[in-house]
């Protein structure tokens, strides 16, 4: 069994010790088609949020989606059972990444697809009807065991910004959130746009390599790579929260 990094979090502003969020980042997966088929078949064992990591720019990007989904469970405020727009909290996490309200599109754009190579897997312990007790007693070890024996992967990465920078695709993220199209339309191009940090680089030029922060990040996104990432992150999270991109 391959060693697997698993991060377990309990998010602030939710009932304490009620929602354990388990997150794994798996690189070079080889059985995406099988994992997706089990999701589509409704196999309860595979009830995870499986996210294509190329669409994700930072840990905050993921955590905002998780928080939005869990808030729907806790507050029950937005219609549908428990306030969810989708089938369960895990599909809601994928939907929460979307900048619009098209549910089916969110799954094909942000969820696992047959050609997914790098995967973010998320498992959440959800509340019972009284909103005080998790419906399951999934330990971190149980989640780790399932992923390690079910997902065929080459490397397990930590859930950090540095790791996510290395598997993200800047050009894909910009396309998903229509960063360039909208900013060009209103006459604004930020650091993450086609002019880049130096006023010369195009998005295709700064998304060629996969690496982490610092010098390697400069190789990936050009000079000022950290500023580029932050600029795009602000746009992405705003679009997710407001659902403003059609």
Beta 7-10 vs 119-124: how paired, if at all?
unpaired
Question: How much is the pLDDT for 13?
Answer: 80
Q: Which CATH superfamily is domain 7-163 in?
A: CGI121/TPRKB (3.30.2380.10)
Q: Can you spell out the DSSP letters for 77-106?
A: -SSSGGG-SSSSHHHHHHHHT-SSS-HHHH
| Residue spans of the chain under pLDDT 50 | 77-80, 184-189, 194-214, 216
DSSP-derived secondary structure letter, 213: S
Single pTM value for the model: 0.80
Closest CA to 193 of 213, 208, 207, 179: 179
* Predicted pLDDT of residue 9: 92
Output the pLDDT for position 82: 54
Question: In the chain, what are the domain boundaries?
Answer: 7-163, 169-242
From the list 52, 87, 66, the residue with the least C-alpha distance to 20 is 66
Closest by CA position to 22, among listed 152, 146, 116: 146
Alpha-carbon span 68 to 101, nearest angstrom: 14
Do the Cβ atoms of 19 and 126 come closer than 8 Å? yes
pLDDT computed for residue 222 by the predictor: 58
Q: Alpha helices, DSSP H only, in the chain?
A: 32-40, 59-75, 89-96, 103-110, 140-150, 161-167, 170-176, 179-185, 215-221, 225-242
pLDDT digits (tens, 9 = 90+) for 5-42: 999 998 888 776 668 899 999 999 999 999 999 999 99
User: What pLDDT score does 228 carry?
Assistant: 74
Dist. CA 215–CA 143, nearest whole Å = 34
Q: Give CA–CA dist 33/161, Å, rounded.
A: 27
C-alpha neighbours within 13 Å on the C-beta side of residue 213: 11
Quote the pLDDT of residue 123. Answer: 97
């Amino acid at each position: 069994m391959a060693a697997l990094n698993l991060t377990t979090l309990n998010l602030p502003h939710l009932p304490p010790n009620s929602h354990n969020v388990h997150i794994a980042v798996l690189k070079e997966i080889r059985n995406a088609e099988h994992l997706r088929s089990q999701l589509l078949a409704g196999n309860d064992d595979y009830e995870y949020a499986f996210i294509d990591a190329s669409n994700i720019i930072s840990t905050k990007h993921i955590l905002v989606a998780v928080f939005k989904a869990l808030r729907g469970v806790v507050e029950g405020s937005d219609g549908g059972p428990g306030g969810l727009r989708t089938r369960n909290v895990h599909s809601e996490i994928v939907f929460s990444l979307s900048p619009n309200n098209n549910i089916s599109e969110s799954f094909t754009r942000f969820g696992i697809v047959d050609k997914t190579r790098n995967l973010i897997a998320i498992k959440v312990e959800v509340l019972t009807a009284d909103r005080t007790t998790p419906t399951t007693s999934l330990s971190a070890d149980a989640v780790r065991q399932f992923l390690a024996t079910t997902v065929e992967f080459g490397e397990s990465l930590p859930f950090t910004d540095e790791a996510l920078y290395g598997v993200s695709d800047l050009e894909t993220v910009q396309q998903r959130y229509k960063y360039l199209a909208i900013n060009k339309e209103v006459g604004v191009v930020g650091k993450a746009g086609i002019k880049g940090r130096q006023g010369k680089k195009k998005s295709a030029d700064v998304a060629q390599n996969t690496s982490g922060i610092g010098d390697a990040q400069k190789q990936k996104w050009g000079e000022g790579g950290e500023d580029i990432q932050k600029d795009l992150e602000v746009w992405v999270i705003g679009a997710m929260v407001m659902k403003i991109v059609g």
